Amino acid sequence: MSRGLRKGLTSYGDAGFSLFLRKAFIKAMGYSDDALERPIVGIADTRSDYNPCHGNASTLIEAAKRGVMLAGAMPMVFPTVSIHESFAHPTSMFLRNLMAIDTEEMIRAQPMDAVVAIGGCDKTLPAQIMAAISVDLPTVVVPVGPMVVGHHQGEVLGACTDCRRLWAAHRAGTIDAAEIETVSGRLAPSVGTCMVMGTASTMACIAEALGLALPMAASIPAPHAERVRLAEASGKRAAEIAKTGGPRPSELVTPASLRNAIAVLQAIGGSTNGVIHLCAIARRAGIPLALEEFDRIGRDVPVLVDLKPSGAHYMEHFHHAGGMPRLLAELGSAIDRAAPSVAGGTLGDIADGCERVRGQDAIRPRAQPIKPEGSIAVLRGNLAPDGAVIKHAAATPALLRHTGRAVAFDSVEDLARRIDLDDLDVAAGDILVLRNAGPKGAPGMPEAGYLPIPRKLARRGVKDMVRISDARMSGTAFGTIVLHIAPEAAIGGPLALVRSGDRIDLDVPARRIELLVEKAELERRGKALRAAAVPERGYARLYHQTVTQADLGCDFDFMLPPGARP
C-alpha cells in the first residue's frame, strides 16, 4: 500500500502526474524533498473561536507536531468541524454525526499514515473515535483536558454541575441577578472541558479505557504543562505507529475493550451520554452492544471515583490521585488486563505502572466504594420497550421506587411555556414527562431531560422529582431522571401516549418503568397519533431520515457496517 505523500492520489488518470502536481503545490509551503518523503501524521485541528473548551488546541497542536518530528515523521495539520455545547443549534448531538463524517472523509481524502485527534468538548471525542474506527488508520486521541476549578464566596465551583445548582438557586430566589452575573465569570476559569465528570470527562476516560489515548490523557488539566508534554508524546507515538502500521482502532476497539470502557463508565459515575456514544462506537466497529451489557456490568462494578455530579471532587483531584491508571488498578478483575493500548503494552501494564498516591480520597479502593453498584442502570417496561437509562448514582434514593401522577409536556417549547405557570397542576410527588425530545423529535435529542423543578415547587424547597423523557441530560446534571426512552415519541413510542393524570410506576431496583394504563386504552390513543413532519431539505432531512434510536447510538444507519445496521 502507498505511504506518505503517495497515498490516496487525486484522480487525473495518471498517477505520476498526480504525485508531481501534489508535490508542486505543497512545495509552495517551503517543504523540502526530505520532509515530503517521510511518513505523514495528520493532526485533526478542532480550533474554533466558538469553542472555548478547545482554547489550548494551538499549543497542543504545536507540541504534537514537535513530537511527530522528533520521531522522524512529517506532521500535517488539517481542520475539521468543531462543536461546543453552548454554541451548537439545535444541539451538539445533532452535529456529532456530521463531525464524524467530516473527520472520516478528511482522513480518507488526504495523505496520512496515522492520525492525532485533538478534541474534547462533549461530542467531539465520540465523533473523532467513530471516524477513526471507520477509517481504521492508526490513531492517537489527545483530549484537550479539563478546566481547573473556579471559586466563589469560599466555595469551589465546577462547570457545569454548579451552573445548574446555582441557576436553580437563582430561579428559587435565593441568588439575585447581580450575584448570578458574578458567578457566570467564575464557573469556567480556564480553557479546557467541564471539570466535573460530565460527558467530556467521561468520554476522555473512555478513550483511555479503550486504549486509544496515552495514560493520564483524560485527566491532566488543560492549562498544565504536563498536558503539553502529553501532546508531544502522543505526536511521537503517532509517528511510530505511522511507521509500523498499528495498532489500528480495529485492534483496540474490541468486545473486551468495550467491556472495559463500560466498567470505567460505571466506576467513574460517568455521563449517561456515554451510553449513547459507546453504542455508536461499538456499532461502527461492527460490534452489537446491547443496553443490558451496561446494566450487567453496572451491577458488579461499584462507583469508585468521587467526582461531581455524583460525588465531591473535580477532575484535577482525580488527576492528582493517579487518574485512569490508578482507577484501572483499583478495578482489578473488572478490567480485561490483556486489552492492548495505543501506548504499547496492555491496560494491565498501565494499571501496574500507576502512581500510588498516599492519602488521596478521589479514587476509592473497590472494597470501600462510593456506591456499591455502578452509576447507570437500564430500565425496560411498557413505557420503554427498547430501553431507557437512569443515572441512579446521582438520584434521590427515596425516589428510585416511586409511583406518581404524570404531568406531561408535548415538546421542549411546551415545557418552557408552562413549567413556571402558577396555575400548573403539579405536586411534589408527580412525575414530569417530556416527549418529542428524542433523536428525530426535537431534533438532535437535546439535553432537556433535566426538566426544571416547577418554580412554585422550587420555592417551597422541592429539590428533586422523578422526571422522564426521550431526551438526553448533561453529564454534569443530577436528579431522579429517566432518559433516552426508546422508541422515542416522535416515531410513535409509548411516551407519545402518556396523558397528564396517568399513573407511572418507576422501580429502579427492578429495572422497570411502566405506564399504568390499560392496553386497550393505549391502543385507542395510538390510533390517533400523527407522524412527525420530515424536514424539507439538507442535513436536517438526512438526519431525520437516517438517525437511529438512542439504544443504537443515534448514528446514521448508512454509516454503520452493513452487518450492524438496524
Of these, 194, 301, 442, 506, which contacts ligand FES (CB under 6 A)? Answer: 194
Q: Is 386 exposed, middle or buried (0-12, 13-18, 19+ CB in 10 A)?
A: middle
Q: How far is the CB of 201 from ligand FES (least distance, A)?
A: 8
Contact in structure between 92 and 84 (CB atoms under 8 Å): yes
Of these, 122, 240, 373, 470, which contacts ligand FES (CB under 6 A)? Answer: 122
Q: How far is the CB of 83 from ligand FES (least distance, A)?
A: 9
Q: How far is the CB of 543 from ligand FES (least distance, A)?
A: 22
CB closer to ligand FES, 189 vs 535? 189
CB closer to ligand FES, 85 vs 113? 85
CB closer to ligand FES, 230 vs 399? 230
Q: How far is the CB of 193 from ligand FES (least distance, A)?
A: 4
* Cα(311)–Cα(520) distance, integer angstroms: 44
CB closer to ligand FES, 84 vs 308? 84
> What one-character DSSP code corresponds to residue 33?
H
CB closer to ligand FES, 194 vs 547? 194
Of these, 5, 41, 43, 53, which contacts ligand FES (CB under 6 A)? Answer: 53
Binding status of residue 198 toward ligand FES by CB under 6 A: yes
Q: How far apart are the first and last CA of the chain?
A: 33
| Identity of residue 204 | A
Which span (4-12, 192-200, 231-239, 246-254) binds ligand FES, by CB under 6 A?
192-200
E-only strand ranges, 204-353: none
Binding mask 155-184 for ligand FES (x = CB under 6 A): ------------------------------
Of these, 68, 121, 163, 468, which contacts ligand FES (CB under 6 A)? Answer: 121
CB closer to ligand FES, 112 vs 121? 121
| DSSP reduced 3-state for 362 | coil
CB closer to ligand FES, 192 vs 298? 192
* Cα(197)–Cα(305) distance, integer angstroms: 9
Q: How far is the CB of 84 from ligand FES (least distance, A)?
A: 6
Q: How far is the CB of 195 from ligand FES (least distance, A)?
A: 9
Of these, 84, 236, 248, 380, which contacts ligand FES (CB under 6 A)? Answer: 84
Q: Which three cell numbers stand for residue 25?
A: 503545490
Compute the half-sphere exposure of residue 313: CA atoms within 13 Å on the CB side of its CA: 21
Binding status of residue 200 toward ligand FES by CB under 6 A: yes
* Cα(27)–Cα(392) distance, integer angstroms: 57
Q: How far is the CB of 318 from ligand FES (least distance, A)?
A: 15
Describe the strand order of the beta sheet including 40-45 as a list of residue ranges.
Answer: 74-79, 40-45, 114-119, 139-143
Alpha carbon separation from 328 to 35, 103, 261, 315, 366 (Å, rounded): 40, 30, 10, 16, 11
Q: How far is the CB of 394 from ligand FES (least distance, A)?
A: 17
* Cα(97)–Cα(123) distance, integer angstroms: 9
Of these, 190, 193, 266, 480, which contacts ligand FES (CB under 6 A)? Answer: 193
Binding mask 269-298 for ligand FES (x = CB under 6 A): ------------------------------
- Helix H, strand E, coil C: the string for 330-374 is HHHHHCCCCCECCCCCEHHHHHHCCCCCCCCCCECCCCCCCECCC
* Cα(524)–Cα(497) distance, integer angstroms: 9
Q: How far is the CB of 51 from ligand FES (least distance, A)?
A: 8
User: Which residues ranging from 336 to 395 are in contact with ligand FES (CB under 6 A)?
Assistant: none
Count of residues in contact with ligand FES, rule CB under 6 A: 9
Closest to 79 in 3D by CA, of 49, 45, 106, 105: 45
CB closer to ligand FES, 148 vs 233? 148
CB closer to ligand FES, 90 vs 535? 90
The CA angle 88-51-549, to the nearest 5 degrees, is 40
Q: How far is the CB of 85 from ligand FES (least distance, A)?
A: 4
Q: How far is the CB of 202 from ligand FES (least distance, A)?
A: 10
Sign of the four-CA dihedral 48, 143, 161, 397: positive
Alpha carbon separation from 193 to 202, 244, 472 (Å, rounded): 11, 33, 19
Contact in structure between 405 and 502 (CB atoms under 8 Å): yes
Contact in structure between 279 and 553 (CB atoms under 8 Å): yes
Which span (71-79, 193-201, 347-355, 375-383) binds ligand FES, by CB under 6 A?
193-201
Matching residue, cell 478483575: 333
Q: How far is the CB of 207 from ligand FES (least distance, A)?
A: 14
Matching residue, cell 489527545: 142
* Cα(565)–Cα(552) distance, integer angstroms: 9
CB closer to ligand FES, 198 vs 454? 198
* Cα(433)–Cα(290) distance, integer angstroms: 25
CB closer to ligand FES, 202 vs 341? 202
Binding status of residue 85 toward ligand FES by CB under 6 A: yes
Longest Cα pair distance anywhere in the chain, in angstroms? 76
Q: At what angle do helices 538-546 and 92-109 cross, to 10 degrees?
A: 100
CB closer to ligand FES, 160 vs 354? 160
* Cα(275)–Cα(560) distance, integer angstroms: 17
CB closer to ligand FES, 160 vs 457? 160
Which span (190-198, 405-413, 424-432, 511-519) binds ligand FES, by CB under 6 A?
190-198
Residues near ligand FES, by CB under 6 A:
53, 84-85, 121-122, 193-194, 198, 200
